[in-house]
């Protein structure tokens, strides 16, 4: 398939084209290496990108699609979600919007509902949100366990997830299971023992919620190192609600990503900047918990790699819209539109240690999104507007 006349194709390859035109009112923020090609064309062969360039130079193919000047971006790589769950926390959100604070304890509500659900119900809910995300341009989705908290409930969550995505994360250490609330050490033993044995075959990643009300730095290190010994790769929920040891632990262990990064010391920022650990920012969580925004500008200026993801979950961030997260990051976190789009595509790929997604380059997986807009900047410029017009995922036109 040849897709032609794409206006402003974001490739995430800086050697292809240029960045967005800078206006004379722009601040000194650096532009991300989005590699923008005007009047671009893409050739999709099977599940891969076979050619990228200007429409006028495109090779002839039998199947031709005219984008009619729509902007093109790589499919979003949403590197952080919690989609294996049951139930609903509308009441908790409603209470929060009348002034109650968010705490990790709300997770228990979803744990009870998830344990009571059948495998079929969990699969149907996951499918619903994966489809919802795909319609909004997300072609790669990471998702986690963490609402089961027993060996059986965690491993079934991972089995359900693994039948739908390669990016599956074991988060048995989300909170201490309610039945072991009096004995957190016993719960950590379970998470690093029988539960890990049951879960490791179904997951790629191990994660822990390192936070007050969840797990402290020592417990988090124990959980992540046990997972690593079983061949899982570490990532972490760090520094979301309070300052804490999570970011430093992520860097120490070579984690692919430290997620949330809302409360960072200068030393945390430096540690991220000097490491390969991606800072994954989840502004949907700050939006839905009425918390302060993470400071993307500070991280970028220090030289850290920043990803943007949805954190889609029924408690702290019930949005599957990466475009919404881009708009928040641009409006309130100091990112340029180029940076935000890069972070939601190539940045998410970096947070998942993937080089085959999040970019439109020869050999990459053919995940292409066309927008009903002349530029990717409209993702921030037109917040809340459903701009996704067409989606190819691994070469298949799915929308």
- Per the annotation, binding residues for Fe(3+) are 80, 82, 237, 311
Q: Which stretch binds ligand NIG (CB under 6 A): 104-112, 294-302, 369-377, 386-394?
A: 104-112
How far apart are CB 146 and ligand NIG at their closest, in Å?
Answer: 7
Phi, psi of 236 (to 5 degrees): -150, 145
Nearest in space to 107 (alpha carbons), one of 185, 179, 177, 211: 177
Q: Which stretch binds Fe ion (CB under 5 A): 58-66, 200-208, 305-313, 324-332?
A: 305-313
Q: Which stretch binds ligand NIG (CB under 6 A): 265-273, 312-320, 321-329, 356-364?
A: 312-320
Sheet holding 64-66, edge to edge: 48-54, 40-45, 2-6, 64-66
Please report whether residue 336 would count as binding ligand NIG according to CB under 6 A: no
CA-based end-to-end distance of the chain: 15
Please report whether residue 311 would count as binding Fe ion according to CB under 5 A: yes
In eight-state DSSP terms, residue 319 is -
Q: Which is nearer to ligand NIG, 43 or 191 (CB)?
A: 191
Q: Which is nearer to ligand NIG, 76 or 392 (CB)?
A: 76
Q: Which of residues 64-103 bind ligand NIG (CB under 6 A)?
A: 82
DSSP SS3 for 153: helix
User: 258 near 247, Cβ under 8 Å?
Assistant: yes
Using CA atoms, how far residue 132 sits from 116, 127, 270, 325, 346, in Å, is 24, 8, 37, 15, 21
Binding mask 173-202 for ligand NIG (x = CB under 6 A): ------------------------------
How far apart are CB 190 and Fe ion at their closest, in Å?
Answer: 21
Please report whether residue 110 would count as binding ligand NIG according to CB under 6 A: yes
Using CA atoms, how far residue 336 sits from 31, 183, 368, 380, in Å, is 7, 46, 22, 9
Q: Which is nearer to ligand NIG, 209 or 392 (CB)?
A: 209
How far apart are CB 398 and Fe ion at their closest, in Å?
Answer: 26
How far apart are CB 262 and ligand NIG at their closest, in Å?
Answer: 10
Q: Report DSSP letters for 4-25, one per residue.
A: EEESSEE-S-TTSSB-PPPPTT
Binding mask 202-241 for ligand NIG (x = CB under 6 A): -------x---------------------------x--x-
The rounded distance, in Å, linking the Cα atoms of 83 and 161 is 8
How far apart are CB 285 and Fe ion at their closest, in Å?
Answer: 7
Using CA atoms, how far residue 387 sits from 2, 68, 73, 76, 360, in Å, is 22, 15, 12, 13, 19
Tokens matching residue 362: 């020869």
| Partner from Fe ion, ligand NIG, none binding residue 138, C-beta < 5-8 Å depending on class | none
Please report whether residue 315 would count as binding ligand NIG according to CB under 6 A: yes
The rounded distance, in Å, linking the Cα atoms of 288 and 285 is 5
The rounded distance, in Å, linking the Cα atoms of 179 and 37 is 56
Bind-site residues for Zn(2+):
80, 82, 237, 311
How far apart are CB 73 and ligand NIG at their closest, in Å?
Answer: 25
Q: Which is nearer to ligand NIG, 257 or 317 (CB)?
A: 317
* Residues that bind Fe ion in the complex, under the rule CB under 5 A: 311
């Amino acid at each position: 398939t040849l897709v032609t006349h794409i206006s402003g194709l974001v490739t995430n390859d800086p050697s292809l084209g240029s960045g967005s035109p800078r206006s004379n009112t722009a601040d000194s923020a650096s532009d991300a290496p989005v590699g923008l090609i005007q009047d671009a064309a893409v050739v999709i062969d099977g599940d891969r990108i076979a050619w990228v360039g200007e429409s006028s130079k495109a090779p002839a193919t039998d199947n031709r699609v005219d984008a009619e000047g729509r902007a093109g971006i790589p499919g979003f790589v949403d590197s952080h979600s919690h989609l294996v769950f049951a139930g609903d926390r509308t009441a908790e959100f409603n209470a929060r919007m009348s002034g109650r604070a968010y705490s990790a304890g709300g997770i228990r509500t979803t744990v009870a509902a998830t344990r009571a659900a059948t495998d079929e119900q969990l699969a149907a809910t996951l499918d619903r949100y994966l489809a919802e995300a795909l319609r909004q341009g997300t072609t790669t989705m990471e998702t986690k366990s963490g609402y089961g908290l027993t060996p059986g409930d965690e491993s079934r969550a991972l089995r359900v997830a693994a039948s739908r995505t390669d990016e599956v994360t074991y988060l048995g250490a989300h909170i201490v299971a309610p039945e072991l609330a009096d004995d957190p050490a016993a719960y950590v033993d379970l998470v690093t023992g029988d539960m890990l044995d049951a879960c490791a075959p179904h997951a790629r990643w191990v994660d822990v919620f390192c936070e007050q009300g969840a797990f402290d730095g020592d417990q988090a290190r124990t959980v992540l190192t046990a997972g690593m010994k079983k061949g899982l790769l570490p990532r972490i929920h760090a520094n979301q609600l309070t300052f804490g040891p999570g970011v430093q632990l992520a860097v120490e262990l070579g984690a692919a990503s430290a997620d949330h990064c809302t409360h960072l010391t200068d030393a945390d920022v430096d540690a991220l900047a000097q490491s390969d650990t991606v800072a994954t920012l989840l502004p949907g969580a700050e939006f839905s918990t009425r918390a302060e925004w993470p400071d993307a500008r500070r991280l970028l200026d220090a030289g850290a790699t920043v990803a943007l993801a949805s954190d889609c979950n029924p408690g702290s961030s019930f949005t599957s819209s990466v475009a919404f997260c881009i708009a928040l990051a641009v409006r309130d976190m100091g990112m340029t539109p180029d940076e935000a789009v890069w972070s939601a595509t190539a940045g998410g790929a970096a947070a998942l240690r993937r080089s085959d997604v999040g970019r439109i380059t020869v050999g990459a997986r053919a995940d292409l999104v066309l927008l009903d807009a002349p530029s990717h900047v409209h993702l921030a410029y037109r917040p809340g507007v459903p701009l996704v017009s067409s989606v190819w995922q691994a070469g298949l036109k799915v929308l």
